Chains A and B, each alone.
Chain A
């Protein structure tokens, strides 16, 4: 599904060289994969490169065996819109839209009409247990509910790969665990691939495969 081949992305941070260096990894379809490591290990950088939000200095990224590194910005936008989904640590729902409208948004950006987008978004919200909160705005939802709405938003367009950056970091243990269970269920149920950046042991414990990073380098790989 996702293959990174000797990826390097370097930048200056506080006068020091940071980033990821020569990382290669392979994430199979339907896998709940975790990029694990301490802060500054390069998890988020790798996640952003995998999500085509940034371009590597060296190396090649393959999505469904298609090289995507050298694509134009327009083509990358199209790939993100149609094949990728994102879940952020701070939820990042659009504040002026209701939960339902947030989930409809990527579908509408694809050009799907309201008539089709609405039932698909309602189904996605129902799947994450937010059917009764669909008309609430982000400010009216708890952190856990917002993150579930964000997952519904990422899943509504039926992506191949969902990238989640520290999805449980803003949640307490009582909400973080069930959220990861939900991701694992969705991976198994829909064959969606999840790539999650996290240093949370409860997240790592639920992963099908774990890529351990340290100082921007891949130092270990575990598969269950």
Chain B
């Protein structure tokens, strides 16, 4: 412990230099941990959007549902999706099961027809577990969206909610009557008249231009679907168990394919990879800056203490103990830098979040979001450990230089 005490005293002796070095470490900690908090916000937002956008935590689908397109509606469907949903609802780990059907066709206003991608949902369950109602609020702000409401639970009502781009293309507003055309499961052409009850802003322009939502009852009339459903979205009671529950439920339903949301959310995975690449490179550069700055400081400190090291060696200190002494100095710089960096991060995070800054809309999306840098202890721990390792490495070269000093020359050093 005497070496640790000596190291600490030496750092305190050169207060200005130590303070400057600590500033570099603190700046590195601050930049990396804030970036980590921002990444966490982004990932959280994207995962919420994916899960509450309809995927749920798990999706049950027929095997091969993700390979190739359907030649006709519900060609790749769970034949008795409703019975399967009822069975899964009895599972103690499942909070709810939301059956969905996906279909394509043409939407006509009489004067104009536009291709659409349709999703049929349960009008009662969907707003309770998914973000449908929030998308509806966004659509209500658009021209013609005033008075938007969710689909009626009454199966006799044939209603549709349109993406704002799709509504604009057809010149449709809330209250307009349109005709949905598609093929039934048997391949026959069918059509139903629907009333527009709402407009949705789904956040992505491509979706807004093509997407519409109807109730399962309306879709059944159009597609002659019976109990068949394209997918079952499972909402788990414990989202953190998604991976283990996927394996368990897949074993229970071997005739189906059970996928976790993160395998299906390709946008989420792409953004995650992109962020890891960008912030990984930034982290590498920052670690390099910290490494060079601290190595320089410690080397200067060694050069100023050559005679002192000579005396310590004369007294019987082993060369490797000088290496340990410098490692202690690096360790204290890392510990102090990380502690101060954490304090600065928490302060700056609180300040930035309190400003309610609006971030611009990310590429491909139609609206921005409020900056809310997350508190992520694991990121702080990883950054602290990374900086600590960097400082131990930076102390290595000065330590080796000190350990290699010849005692008689060190004692002569002026």
Q: Is B44 an interface residue (CB 8 A)?
A: no
A92 touches B317 (CB 8 A): no
Q: Is B318 an interface residue (CB 8 A)?
A: yes
Q: Is A51 an interface residue (CB 8 A)?
A: yes
B2 touches A86 (CB 8 A): no
Q: Is B350 an interface residue (CB 8 A)?
A: no
Count, A-B residue pairs, CB within 8 A = 61
In which size bucket is the chain B interface? 20 to 34
A residues within 8 A CB of B321? Answer: 109
Q: Contacts A53-B411, A96-B6: A86 and B314 contacting too (C-beta < 8 A)?
A: yes
Q: How far is the CB of B171 from chain A (nearest CB, A)?
A: 82
CB-contact partner of A109 in B9, B10, B317, B407, under 8 A: B317
Q: Is B16 an interface residue (CB 8 A)?
A: no
Q: Contacts A77-B316, A109-B317: A92 and B308 contacting too (C-beta < 8 A)?
A: yes
- Name B314's closest neighbour in chain A (CB-CB): A86
- Size of chain A's interface in residues, with CB distance under 8 A? 26
- Name B1's closest neighbour in chain A (CB-CB): A108
A77 touches B318 (CB 8 A): yes
Q: How far, in whole Å, are A77 and B311 apart by their CA atoms in the complex?
A: 12
A88 touches B411 (CB 8 A): yes
- Name A93's closest neighbour in chain B (CB-CB): B311
Q: How far, in whole Å, are A82 and B317 apart by their CA atoms in the complex?
A: 11
Q: Is B307 an interface residue (CB 8 A)?
A: yes
Q: Is A33 an interface residue (CB 8 A)?
A: no
Q: How far is the CB of A218 from chain B (nearest CB, A)?
A: 20
The B contact surface, by secondary structure, is: helix
B residues within 8 A CB of A224? Answer: none
Q: How far, in whole Å, are A97 and B8 apart by their CA atoms in the complex?
A: 11
Most buried by B among A94, A96, A106: A96
B residues within 8 A CB of A81? Answer: 315-317
B residues within 8 A CB of A73? Answer: 318-319
Q: Contacts A53-B411, A94-B308, A96-B6: A106 and B315 contacting too (C-beta < 8 A)?
A: yes
A80 touches B2 (CB 8 A): no
Q: How far is the CB of B349 from chain A (nearest CB, A)?
A: 37
A residues within 8 A CB of B315? Answer: 80-81, 86, 105-106, 109
Q: Is A48 an interface residue (CB 8 A)?
A: yes
Interface residues of A (CB under 8 A from B): 48, 51, 53-54, 73-74, 77-82, 84, 86, 88, 90, 92, 94-97, 105-106, 108-110
